[in-house]
Structure 1
Amino acid sequence: MQNKVQFITYVDRLTRGGFRQLKELVDGKFAGLFGGVHVLPFFNPIDGADAGFDPTDHTIVDPRLGDWEDVRALSGSVEIMADLIVNHVSSQSGAFTDFIAKGSASEFADMFMTFDKVFPDPATEEDLLRIYRPRPGLPFSKVTLADGTQRMLWTTFTPEQIDIDVHSAKGTTYLETILDRFSEANVTAIRLDAAGYAIKKAGSSCFMIDDTYAFLEEVAGKARNRGMEVLVEIHSYHRDQIEIAKKVDRVYDFALPPLILHALFTGDATPLAKWLAISPRNAITVLDTHDGIGVIDVGAHSDGRAGLLEPQAIDNLVGEIHRRSDGQSRQATGAAASNLDLYQVNCTYYDALGRNDNDYLIARAIQFFAPGIPQVYYVGLLGGVNDMDLLAKTGVGRDINRHYYGNDEIGTALETPLFHRLSNLIRFRNTHPAFGGALKATIADAGALVLSWQHGDAFAELKISFADRKASIAASGQSEMQIVE
């Protein structure tokens, strides 16, 4: 993966078209901005129960977007990352409908994670309470087969997403077939979606247990053998992320977005500086994604170990996001919206900062100076605001940050001072040699945060005074760059 800023986008929600239109944008209006594109689920269908994360067929491109040759064509312009949804398939998939029709006689019967596979003996109340849940309720759904037999299946996320037994013969073949298709289309990196839930074991939390780490290494090895890097998507305690990072090529730095908000809201950059001193160097950094802003990643562990922020600081952080977004984020978060995740705040990052251009650019500058490779979400690139109309239409909280853009909207966004200033930051991050070196993060006088990169004679230093909102970049080979105007 190139050490350049990467782009995250849906094909249809950005272009109102398909892969060919996305390639036109990448080669045209976005030329030189991105080393790669994480293309959010483009499999058939893109408009299922979970916006593409519940494919009926993971090996087919939704024909509304194009085909695998179009994916391969895009790879001629930028590196491509695609999602490998390892935990589940759609309840409308051919494999599951065959199981419903034929029951145990189905060739796919063993592919799905049934309750009795994990609990062959009766599960106790303690067993069930031990299962980690980011959402209300237990991760099971009752299904009725064609002959009237009822079975209890694992459905970690929704009843429309049926969990796979990843160690079954059919489950293994299923995942390997997807990897093969990705490799054939010149996909160079995969994102393991919901990987922390893939392994279930009686008596455990069924989330990021020892066997999960072994599974991650197994999948990563298969991907590498096909020429692909692996990014693991897991929201968890920050020390767990450090351990996960040792076993895969890339891991998300999900602690960064709330820590930056905390620094901007309170003027206290100490938690951020402490994290940057120990955060994984093989991270993918984000401020915004297709999901909400996570807070579990800076919280305490369930065993009592301290988090990066105190509980009251997290409560204050969430409250300030709600305040700065004029209450819009509150309408899209928690029990207020379906398909919810209790540990995320649904809001555009720009709205979380009260649509303040200077604060937003300070946040992006910190992200670009943080260890790892930065990714910028399509809504964030264009300075997008909360889509309250889409939220009202779907009732899905995360849709507040999944806007459908038209060409006119994109054209208008590209002419804003915010986009021009952000583009300059992106190009600086992509081209300056200092980012190939090492980072030093310090708190200077009066609480200013200083992030310094050094690579041979090349250096780049970002200095931010949160008290008076001054931010600038000093770098070898160029004049000082002011972030705040």
Structure 2
Amino acid sequence: MNNQPGSNQIQLITYVDRLSGGGVSELHQLLQQELGGLFDGVHLLPFYTPIDGEDAGFDPTDHTAVDSRLGNWQDIASLASDYPVMADMIVNHVSAQSAQFQDVLAKGEASHYWPLFLTRDKVYGQAPEPAELAAIYRPRPTSCFTELALADGRSLPFWTTFTANQIDIDVQSEPGQAYLDAILQRFTENGVKLIRLDAAGYAIKKAGTSCFMLPETFEFIAGLSSKAKALGMQCLVEIHGYHQTQIDIAKRCDWVYDFALPPLVLHTLFSRDAKALKHWLDIAPRNCITVLDTHDGIGIVDAADHQGQPGLLTDPELDALVEQIHHNSGGSSKLATGNAANNVDLYQVNCSFYDALAQHDEHYLLARAIQLFCPGISQIYYGGLLAAENDVELLKRTQVGRDINRPYFTPEKVRQALQKPVVKALCALIKLRRSLQAFDGDFSQQLNDGQYQLNWQHQGHSASLRIRLADLSAELVWQHSGKVQQHCALSSLLAD
């Protein structure tokens, strides 16, 4: 099996325990058995100690340790020997419960780890200008700083870009660089081939700026990517923001997310108009990882305007999109989005993609077909693979908005979900997509007379997705070199 990530691949993105009902070895078995033949690689969402912190593993106390409830590094290495594994590298912050930060709280400036963490004073001095603080780009409605008490009685404002339990790292300090280097080393020792740089856009703070995606941030990402590449790994940069930023960052790294795709696919299906989607695919980076859903919400900012520059969708189009999602989900997405449910991400709508499309099997399968025909690595979220509905009960228990689309499956629930017609159809579509050599070649698209067509050609092989926008009916057409052309109505996969 090819153990390097490539553009003609399909990956699974999943929490280990929420899909397998167990640990890494159970997930490995699931990939080889019930999910056999579907995926070329797997993105393991945070599996570090602990997996059940405030932010579902994105607030590790020890980024170099596998949570013992999931297994150990040998289990990761075993999985990586069969599938290219992507792991998250949380570059911006570490848990307030970590040994390093607890040492800082106990000893203050005398701590060996004092330079590892950012206080407001380190960037703005003792008397920051209110205008400079107001210019900081915030992913959440509250302050980027949290006053925390040291053992000597002082209280200092630490940088906490996301939550009060996630303390920002000074990645430019010597301890900060050593911290990140230790994570890279642990990854390469255990076969990780692709790294997702989580929250990298916030990593560099500089007075007088927005502290988001600065020129220095681009340099930091490029430098970290070079270190990873020297160790045999590639980097995926995770940034929600203006679409031109994605185009720019794609020139400096191995892979970027296509976060604009989910709202554009929804807009296409809701409005029966593919002009915005076609425009984006004309200009989008080709070294991208496509998603429709992830462990986070459906991004809105990725298609929006920015500082007077036009977005991929207009404000009225985005407003209509969000309202349609809320309507399609029966209002459950509204319970999990915006200021509701302790959200730290006001630029996203929290909803399963299946519910965003009103659990309409044909429309959901069409959305996945569009994703699978777009350039780049197709990444399928575990909840999306199993057409999961919004988990309102989990949301009520945790009061964390994103949990509405972070369901827990037992092995029995996985087997049940795999029998649903829409899931069986999606699995058949994925297997067909993986069998077609046309996707090793060139992509093109046409939009005319109410028909939108996505095409691939490679050395006599061809594949097309033909969509009639008026009624959202679609046809798959493919041909292996020297063979007879094949036709299949997309909806027919639901009947098989």
TM-score by length of 2: 0.96
Task: Give the drift of 1:436.
Answer: 1.2
- Which runs of 4 or more aligned residues in structure 1 lie more than 2 Å from their structure 2 counterparts after TM superposition? none
Q: Does 1:479 align with 2:454?
A: no
Q: How does 1:14-413 map to 2 (within 5 A)?
A: 14-120=19-125, 122-301=127-306, 303-413=307-417
Task: Give the drift of 1:114.
Answer: 1.2
Q: Distance in 2 between matches of 1:441 and 1:276?
A: 9
Q: Does 1:451 align with 2:454?
A: yes
Q: Distance in 2 between matches of 1:429 and 1:212?
A: 37
Task: Give the drift of 1:424.
Answer: 1.6
1:63-116: CA deviation from partner (whole Å, max 9, x where unpaired) = 000000000011122110000000000000000000011111100000001111
Is the CA contact (8 Å cut-off) linking 2:139 and 2:161 kept in structure 1?
Answer: no
What SS does the corresponding residue of 1:334 show, helix, strand or coil? Answer: coil
Q: Distance in 1 between matches of 2:269 and 2:313?
A: 14
Q: Does 1:461 align with 2:464?
A: yes
Is the CA contact (8 Å cut-off) linking 1:414 and 1:420 kept in structure 2?
Answer: yes
Q: Distance in 2 between matches of 1:411 and 1:32?
A: 16
Q: Distance in 2 between matches of 1:29 and 1:390?
A: 25
Is the CA contact (8 Å cut-off) linking 1:288 and 1:349 kept in structure 2?
Answer: yes
Task: Give the drift of 1:9.
Answer: 0.4
**Identical residues among aligned pairs (%):** 53
What SS does the corresponding residue of 1:152 show, helix, strand or coil? Answer: strand
Is the CA contact (8 Å cut-off) linking 1:340 and 1:396 kept in structure 2?
Answer: no
Matched letter for residue 401 of structure 1: N
Task: Give the drift of 1:440.
Answer: 1.0
What SS does the corresponding residue of 2:486 show, helix, strand or coil? Answer: coil
Matched letter for residue 363 of structure 1: A
Task: Give the drift of 1:437.
Answer: 1.2
Matched letter for residue 467 of structure 1: A
Q: Distance in 2 between matches of 1:451 and 1:391?
A: 37
What SS does the corresponding residue of 1:29 show, helix, strand or coil? Answer: coil
Task: Give the drift of 1:121.
Answer: 5.8
Task: Give the drift of 1:28.
Answer: 0.6
Is the CA contact (8 Å cut-off) linking 1:469 and 1:484 kept in structure 2?
Answer: no
1:357-392: CA deviation from partner (whole Å, max 9, x where unpaired) = 100010001001111110000000011100010000
Matched letter for residue 46 of structure 2: P
Q: How does 1:3-14 map to 2 (within 5 A)?
A: 3-14=8-19
Is the CA contact (8 Å cut-off) linking 1:166 and 1:198 kept in structure 2?
Answer: yes
Q: Distance in 2 between matches of 1:129 and 1:454?
A: 50
Task: Give the drift of 1:428.
Answer: 2.0
What SS does the corresponding residue of 2:178 show, helix, strand or coil? Answer: helix
Q: Distance in 2 between matches of 1:121 and 1:150?
A: 13
Q: Distance in 2 between matches of 1:104 and 1:124?
A: 24
**Does 232-241 or 468-477 show the bigger shift?**
468-477
Q: Distance in 2 between matches of 1:438 and 1:123?
A: 53
What SS does the corresponding residue of 1:306 show, helix, strand or coil? Answer: coil
Q: How does 1:404-423 map to 2 (within 5 A)?
A: 404-423=408-427
What SS does the corresponding residue of 2:115 show, helix, strand or coil? Answer: helix
Q: Does 1:424 align with 2:428?
A: yes
Task: Give the drift of 1:431.
Answer: 2.3
Matched letter for residue 208 of structure 1: M
Is the CA contact (8 Å cut-off) linking 1:4 and 1:429 kept in structure 2?
Answer: no
Q: Distance in 1 between matches of 2:279 and 2:356?
A: 23
What SS does the corresponding residue of 1:337 show, helix, strand or coil? Answer: helix
What SS does the corresponding residue of 1:484 show, helix, strand or coil? Answer: helix
For this pair of structures, how many residues does the alignment match?
A: 483
Task: Give the drift of 1:339.
Answer: 3.2
1:301-339: CA deviation from partner (whole Å, max 9, x where unpaired) = 1x2000000000000000000000000100110111113
What SS does the corresponding residue of 1:181 show, helix, strand or coil? Answer: helix
Matched letter for residue 296 of structure 2: D
Is the CA contact (8 Å cut-off) linking 1:42 and 1:62 kept in structure 2?
Answer: yes
Structure 1 runs not aligned, ≥5 long: none
